[in-house]
Amino acid sequence: MSTDPDTSGLLRSILPPKRLDRLFDLCGAHGWKLIGAGAVVGALPPVFGLREGYMMTVLSEMFLFAILALSWDIVGGQTGYPSFGNMAFFGIGGYATAILVKDAAVSFPIAMVGAVVAVLVFAAINGLIVLRLRGHYFAIATLGILLAIQQVTRNLDITGGASGKILFDVPPGIVFYYFFLAVLVVEMAVVYYLTQTRFGFILNAIRDDEGKATAMGFNTTYYKTAAWMLAALFTGLAGGAYGLFNTFLDPQTAYNGAWNVELIAMALMGGTGTVAGPVIGAFGLHTIIEYVESSFVGWQLVLLGVAIIVTVIRFPKGVVGTLRAYANEMDYYERGGMAATDDEEVTTDE
Amino acid sequence: MSNTPETDDHAATATADDTVLRTEGITKRFGGLTAVNEVDVEVHEGEIVGLIGPNGAGKSTLFNCITGTLTADEGRVTLQGEDVTDWPEYKIARAGLGRMFQETRIFGGMSVRKNLLLAAQEGGADIGGLLRRPDDSLMERTNELLEYVDLGGLADTRAGRLSFGQQKLIEFAMELMAEPDLLLMDEPAGGINPTMLENLIDYIRTANDEEEATIFLIEHNMDFVMEIADRIYVLAHGERIATGTPDEIQNNQHVIDAYLGRE
Amino acid sequence: MAIAQFVVNGLLVGALFAAVAVGFALIWGVVDIINLAHGEMVMLGGYTAYWLLSIATGTAEGSVLLFLATIPVVVGVLFIVGYALQRTLVSRVIGTDIFLTLLVTFGISIAIQQLAIQAWTANPRSIQVAFADPSMVVGGLVVPKMKLVAFAGAIVLTGILYLFLQRTRTGRAIRAVSQNPEAAALVGIDVEHTRAVTFGISSAVAGGAGAFIATILNIQPQMGLIYTLKSFVIVVFGGVGSIPGALTGGLLLGVVEELTAGLVSSQWTLAVSFTLLIVLLVVKPKGLFGTGADNEH
Amino acid sequence: MEEPMTDNHNRRTFLKVAGGTGALGLTGLAGCAGNSSNGDGGGDSGGSGDTITLGGSMSLTGDNADLGRLYKDAYQETIDRINESGGVEAGDGNTYELEMVLRDDSTDASTSRSIYQELIDREGIDYLLGPYSSSVTLPASAVAAENEKPMVEGGGASPEIFSQGNEWIFGLLPTANKYAKSYIDMALAQSPTPESIAILAEDGTFSQSTAEGARNKIEQTDLELVVDQTFPSGTSDLSTNLGRVRDQGADVLLLCAHQKHNIILANQMESQGVNVDAAMGTVGSLNDSFKGEVGPNGDYIYGPTSWDINADFEDPVYGGTQDFVAAIEDNYDYTPDYHSAAGEAVIMTFVNAFQSVDELTPTAVRNAIRDSDPFSTVYGDVSFDDSGVIAKNMLIRQWQPEPGLQTVYPSSVAQSDPLYPMPDWSER
């Protein structure tokens, strides 16, 4: 299930695995500089006059989706617990901010703090329930909680019921552009750093074999919950800002079912368990969906479905994972081939 | 006590101080089936102890009761003098119990080096340790260990790409990294070729001799276990039917009967 | 009396939930896949019956017999759809990560749903079955005749599926694969084919239920998700792979929903269903009739 | 007939390329006579020169593109006709040609907001045409208020838009809370006079507003509210709720929901043996596709509409309603509906205000719209209440076995009398 043999011949001549491998090493060695450069490039468009309008919104939403996909990946990709209910964090963050700004008349920054607290409390309770489950059960339980929260939101007065919340007097678009960018950069830095620490190793260990991790002395519940809260934190921040960005929040928008799938698809297509993958996936898929929606109205969701199927069947490792596998295809034999006396059992995938 | 003809002979030979592991009357039932019935074992510091018995004798179940993977219905487990019977699995492991699995379990999605770094106990569970990047001395130690098991070139390879035998060596190196007070090994000789088996025996011996590692292992390969073990326990139908040195076990009528299938 | 009426209403729709859920339970048990596109099979079944009647009569109306005559065709068409889906797409992810199997069926679900919107628009449709006197009163309880027919149809579909698994050679092969695919392969069972047949008959029964749903409620391209989720609740309740469990679970879910609607308020029905799902997962992860849902891996 | 609030779309409608489709100016469409001078426009035409530019965002692509087109065509046709006949003679003594800048928001609220901000900042546009759908109109109306520019809209009917104390927004659609008013008035005018009413409402924004309006209306009458139930949008079975309606013996039934639930209603009323004297669905009950799905079960069911294509109101540009219908049919090859008529009235509201102000400023125009006496358009008489909503009630139409869909209330425009009470199912 790695690279497609038909295209790899061409690829091989343009970009041999060796060179790509060196490129990966280079990126790995200069991760901090890359994130810094990304932040600078992201901050530039408004400086050069892009302050509002269509492109501004598109870019803001790209950052937003990258946050959502990367947050999903902390638990789904790094820790191996694929959630189908991450939009619950988004919605709770959004509603908490909206209620604080509109009904309690607090300022935007303070409301965001309130939203973060609300999301973390929710994530802790939610995590207590779902993180005991594995596989199918975990996936569907998270979806069930998302839908239950959506129904509850519809029926409460404080959330404005099905009518939702309208938010006037919101900050201008540029504030949200920089807010989403800043959250994304911070999140990338945090995830990148964590992948190099013992904490990050433990998350990966839980993904690969939770039983073994426990047998090695790790209280996996503790680490899973920490990852879960971290994902909730960033998703909730994004949701909190989005309500104001959009000036309107109802249960349909706040717990958007299509986004819930899109953010998973973005992480998958970019490459789960990596820092760059979900971000690349978010930028790429969002651009494609934008294009399809303007050129072939009504077909964007057909495309999304087909794209998911094709990715899962042909490139389950996503862009980054597939390229990395390609770059590393020879290294096992080169580095340790002589030690591999019984290597007929080489497992190529988990 | 058990209805076996054996009486506890080791209690006399060992002082209480050097007992690493002691189980007393461990019993585990699955539905109507008693998988382990009132089993007592003791492992002393620096010993290599074997656990043998026919398929379905309850060897792995006993291991699982010791590690806390399963909770025993009756009986107590003591590790380094501390009663760990009701502790969760991770806490028992943290108290100094290491375990290698029959099917070999390492973290296939991570590099070989990360597998080893993970096993190091220095990092601990405190926030500071969790959020620090591994320091140079730790990196050096992983390099040494990989060189030691002859897998130095594979440090940055994804562990899942390694052969079964190599994975077994990595799992062993992880335990050397962790330096547990007691290492449980479930069929270390299973599924690897003769050359590698030789190497493995060497490594285990060396660890035992030089690092004074204490090892409790399940094994089907009789040559292997007779060669390496100081003492052996024999289980059949969930009960301990014999204990003694390899020579004593080889000549024990109960053991021979059990392996031949006589009730 | 009111409560009795709610219970009757609940049983009448619950049988349809059950007929949808049995296939879901079967696929989960035999192929170890959560088929998130299962609700789309219900939808396709409804549309197949709708178009068959439209072709036959010019409008989507007809007598009970004419409608029932479409059911074998619906079942046949959906069998082929299910069989083909497993053979062409789902089989490629069996044995990989659970997450990938979930995603591939989710992708199928979205694609089918959106193609249906493109083909048939998002407008809701329904099949009109003509009765001289559409409702009857039994002991003070109102029982719509078509609902009774649909109830009977759902029970019959479920029963046929059960008998098929118990009595036929293919049924035994399916059960063998569900228990141990490797062993089944060793005794000469074509595992791939058997899995595809399982997908086929599960889809066929769901499609048949969909046809009945088109007569008593309505059908829409986006209707699938809610049936998939209800199936999940039912299977978690009844146990993976258990047909009696799914039947009981379906009837019970119908009754719980109608009692909530009747005694509390209908706005809380979905919230109650989803909460029930979460509670069940936490306290009874293997189902009340649990036959082998494994919580680990 | 689409619901004017897109709360039901199950995914976010994505943004899309705006720009290009926008600056249509007066470069006419095929079929319009070619008086297209000054079509290069844009720019600072707000208060000076001989052109007034009206600007807005609209759903020109995406899920609601078909509806957005109805507004766009009606705007364009009306502006073209006005310019052909010499333009607008404003109250300041000058004659102006009209120009339109309409950009695509694909029913996305944040895109729409930035379009309006840009039209005001960059294009210097002072007079704003509202977008389509309530959830887009709401944020857009906030932009209008912040910049103190009048906005007239024919695409958002949520009462929320007009309950914010915003003095710069005017809406031509009766708001959701008015949807049930005419129906209740109609029912009370029948004999035997109904005594009880049942409300079943979907838990969506628009339906809840409709239900709330109905409850307020009922309080002012002698009707007893015997059933008042909300159900989730995802529900596909109303039998328990209909059982309540039957058991409580309600005379009049009001379903605040969309087409899907109207279909269930029509079918389950029959199968549950619910015999009320009148039943109305608020959205989607007058569509041909509704009637096609339910067949004779849909007979006698009522639905509200803000405009009747068969009416004949005078209009200074077209002459009368039928002339407008003919113009749209001839030039655009489709039959206009209430969206089109409301679009025409949006332009006429501005024209009427331009004609009555002494100087052409946004504030003066806003005041003129607010204080205007009723004036006639193809859409009917237009004037606004204090909150900015058109002073207009819904018309009630009914599916009658023969000859079909008929306007039955108010009697001044009725094509025939309502068939009331509707016959019991056993007698059909």
Residue D199 vs residues C52, D215, D302: alpha-carbon distances, Å: 36, 9, 14
Both tokens of C181, joined, read 């695919």
| Cβ separation C218–D246 shorter than 8 A | no
| Max CA separation in chain B (angstroms) | 58
Closest residue on chain C to A211 (Cα): C296
Point out the least confidently predicted range of A30-34, A228-232, B75-79, D98-102: A30-34
Closest CA to D51 of D78, D82, D20, D73: D82
Average pLDDT over residues D190-200: 94
Considering only CA atoms, give the Rg of chain C: 19
Mark yes or no for CB contact D17/A154 under 8 Å. no
Does residue D420 surpass a pLDDT of 80? yes
CA dist., res. A301 & res. C61, Å (int): 32
Condensed to tens digits (0 to 9), the pLDDT of residues A35-53 reads: 999 999 999 888 887 766 6
* Selected residue of A293, A296, A303 to mutate for chain D interface (largest D Cβ count, 10 A): A293
The number of CA neighbours under 13 Å toward the Cβ of D152 is 29
- Considering the domain architecture, whether residues B92 and B185 belong to the same structural domain is answered as yes
Is the same domain home to B5 and B71? yes
Q: Per the domain annotation, does A302 fall within a domain?
A: yes
Domains D19-174+308-382 and D178-305+394-427 share a fold: yes
Report the number of distinct structural domains present in chain C.
Answer: 1
Question: Which helix (DSSP H) or strand (DSSP E) does residue D357 occupy?
Answer: none
Amino acid B171: pLDDT: 92
- pLDDT bin (cut points 50, 70, 90) of residue B124 is low
DSSP single-letter state for residue D389: B
Q: Name the residue among A204, A215, A346 with its Cβ closest to that of B89.
A: A215
* Model confidence at B191: pLDDT above 50: yes
Strand partners, D282: none
Contact predicate D281/C239, CB 8 Å: no
B38 and B73, same domain (yes or no): yes
Could you tell me which residue, C44 or D244, shows the higher pLDDT? C44
Grade residue B22 by pLDDT with cuts at 50, 70 and 90. very high
Q: How far is B24 from chain A (nearest CA, A)?
A: 22
Per-residue pLDDT of D323-374, as tens digits, reads: 999 999 999 988 888 899 999 999 999 999 999 999 999 999 999 999 999 9
C-alpha to C-alpha distance for D125 and C54, rounded to whole angstroms:
53
Minimal Cβ distance to A248: which of D13, D117, D139? D139
SS3 D49: coil
Higher pLDDT, A249 or C211: C211
pLDDT for A319 equals 86
Residue whose structure tokens are 């947050």: A71
Alpha-carbon torsion, ordered A130, A131, A134, A140, to 10 deg? 20
Q: How many domains does chain A have?
A: 1
CATH number, domain at C100? 1.10.3470
Cβ–Cβ under 8 Å, residues D97 and D26: yes
Pairing of β B97-100 and β B48-52: unpaired
Q: What is the rounded CA–CA span in Å between residue D395 and residue D408?
A: 8
Residue contacts between A and C (CB atoms, under 8 Å): 122
The hierarchical CATH code for the domain D19-174+308-382 is: 3.40.50.2300
Q: Does B126 have pLDDT greater than 70?
A: no
Min distance D235 CA to chain C CA atoms (Å):
8
- Band (pLDDT 50/70/90 cuts) for residue D414 is confident
Nearest-CA distance D272 → chain C (Å): 6
- Please indicate, yes or no, whether residues B59 and B74 belong to a single structural domain of this protein: yes
Q: Is residue A341 part of a domain?
A: no
What value does the mean pLDDT take over residues A127-138? 85
A258-296 tens-digit pLDDT: 888 889 999 999 999 999 999 999 999 999 887 876 667
Residues B32 and B46 in one domain: yes
CA distances from A60 to A64, A189, A268, A271 (A): 6, 19, 21, 22
Domain locations along chain D: 19-174+308-382, 178-305+394-427
Band of residue D2 on the pLDDT scale cut at 50, 70, 90: very low
Q: Are D57 and D102 in contact (CB under 8 A)?
A: yes
Identify from B150, B163, B185 which residue to disrupt to test chain A contact, counting A C-beta atoms within 10 A and taking the largest count: B163
Same domain, B154 and B251: no
> B202 in a domain, yes or no?
no
Which structural domain range is residue B115 located in? 105-179
Residue A255 sits in which domain range? 5-330
Whether the per-residue pLDDT at A114 is higher than 90: the answer is yes
- Closest partner CB to D240 (pick from C126, C220, C258): C258
Q: Is A298 helix (H, G, I), strand (E, B) or coil?
A: coil
Structure tokens at C2: 């009111």
Q: If pLDDT is split at 50, 70 and 90, which confidence band does D11 have?
A: very low
Give the span between the Cα atoms of B137 and B142, in whole angstroms.
9
pLDDT reading at A168 higher than 80: no
Candidates B118, B132, B150, B183, partner chain A, best to mutate (most A CBs within 10 A): B118
Please determine, for residue B122, whether its predicted confidence score (pLDDT) is greater than 80: no
Segment B194-235, tens digit of pLDDT: 888 888 888 888 888 888 889 999 988 888 888 899 999 999
The fraction of chain B above a pLDDT of 90, given in percent, is 37
| Residues 6 or more apart whose Cβ sits within 8 Å of residue C155 | C15, C19, C247
Q: A205 and B107 in contact by Cβ < 8 A?
A: yes
Mean pLDDT of B166-184: 90
Chains touching chain B at 3 or more Cβ pairs under 8 angstroms?
A: A
Between CA A200 and CA A193 the distance in angstroms is 8
Closest CA to C252 of C2, C20, C23, C14: C14
For the cut 50, the answer to whether the pLDDT of residue A154 exceeds it is yes
Contact check, Cβ <8 Å, B154/A204: no
Per the CB < 8 Å rule, is D111 touching A57?
yes
* Average pLDDT, integer, range B167-188: 90
Q: Which tokens go with D417?
A: 């009398």
CA-CA distance, C41 to C20, in Å (whole number)?
Answer: 9
First-to-final CA distance of chain B:
20
**DSSP state, D194?**
P
Residue of A nearest to C226 (CA): A147
Question: Of B248 and B256, which is predicted with more confidence?
Answer: B248
| Contact residues of C toward A, CB < 8 A | 28, 34, 89, 92-93, 96-100, 102-104, 106-115, 117-118, 225, 229, 232, 236, 267-268, 270-271, 274-275, 277-278, 281-282, 285, 295-297
Is A248 in a helix, a strand, or coil?
Answer: strand
The answer to whether position A336 is within a domain reads no
Same domain, B119 and B52: no
Quick one: pLDDT at residue A327? 80
Q: Which two tokens stand for residue B26?
A: 């461990």
Give residue C49's domain range: 2-283
Question: Regarding beta strands B33-44 and A165-166, do their DSSP bridges make them parallel or antiparallel, or are they unpaired?
Answer: unpaired
Q: Is C43 helix (H, G, I), strand (E, B) or coil?
A: helix
C28 within a domain of the structure (yes/no): yes
- The residues, ordered by sequence, that sit 6+ positions from A342 with a Cβ below 8 Å of its Cβ are B163, B164, B165, B192, B193, B196
CATH number of A68's domain: 1.10.3470
Q: How close C282 comes to chain A (CA, Å)?
A: 7
- Classify domain D178-305+394-427 at the CATH topology level: Rossmann fold (3.40.50)
How far apart, in Å, are the Cα atoms of D30 and each of D36, D54, D324?
A: 12, 21, 17
> pLDDT at position C20, please?
96
Cβ–Cβ pairs < 8 A, chains A and B: 132
The DSSP string of chain B is ---SS----HHHHS-GGGEEEEEEEEEEEETTEEEEEEEEEEEETT-EEEEE-STTSSHHHHHHHHHTSS--SEEEEEETTEE-TTS-HHHHHHTTEEEE-TT----TTSBHHHHHHHH-STT-SSHHHHHSPP-HHHHHHHHHHHHHTT-GGGTTSBGGGS-HHHHHHHHHHHHHHH--SEEEEE-TTTT--HHHHHHHHHHHHHHHHHS---EEEE-S-HHHHHHH-SEEEEEETTEEEEEE-HHHHHT-HHHHHHHHT--
pLDDT above 90 as % of chain A: 44
Kindly give the pairing relationship between strand C61-62 and strand C128-129. Answer: parallel
Q: CB distance A204–B107 less than 8 Å?
A: yes
Q: What is the CATH number of the domain that holds B54?
A: 3.40.50.300
pLDDT at residue D41 greater than cutoff 60: no
Q: Do D271 and C146 touch (CB under 8 A)?
A: yes
Radius of gyration of chain A (CA): 21
Residues of A in contact with C108 (CB under 8 A): 305, 309
The answer to whether the Cβ–Cβ distance between C278 and A148 falls below 8 Å is: yes
Mean pLDDT of chain D: 83
Are residues B155 and B80 part of one domain?
Answer: no
Substitution target from D6, D10, D17, D108 for chain A, most A beta carbons within 10 A: D17
Q: How far is A157 from chain D (nearest CA, A)?
A: 12
Contact present, C and A (at least 3 Cβ pairs less than 8 Å): yes
Quick check: A349 and A208 in contact, CB under 8 A?
no
pLDDT 10s digits, B26-66: 999 988 888 999 999 999 999 999 999 888 888 999 999 99
Look at residue A345 and tell me if it is in a domain.
no
pLDDT of residue D315: 93
Position B136 scores a pLDDT of: 86
For residue D420, the number of C-alpha atoms closer than 13 Å in the C-beta half-sphere is 25
Chain A positions in Cβ-Cβ contact with residue C118 (cut-off 8 Å): 298-299, 302
Torsion of the alpha carbons at A50, A52, A53 and A55, rounded to the nearest 10: 40
Confidence of residue D389 (pLDDT cuts 50, 70, 90): very high
Confidence (pLDDT) at A15: 76
Say what the pLDDT of residue A52 is. 61
Pick out chain C residues at pLDDT < 70: 1, 284-297
Contact assignment for A341 to B196 by CB distance below 8 Å = yes
* Residues B262 and B174 reside in one and the same domain: no
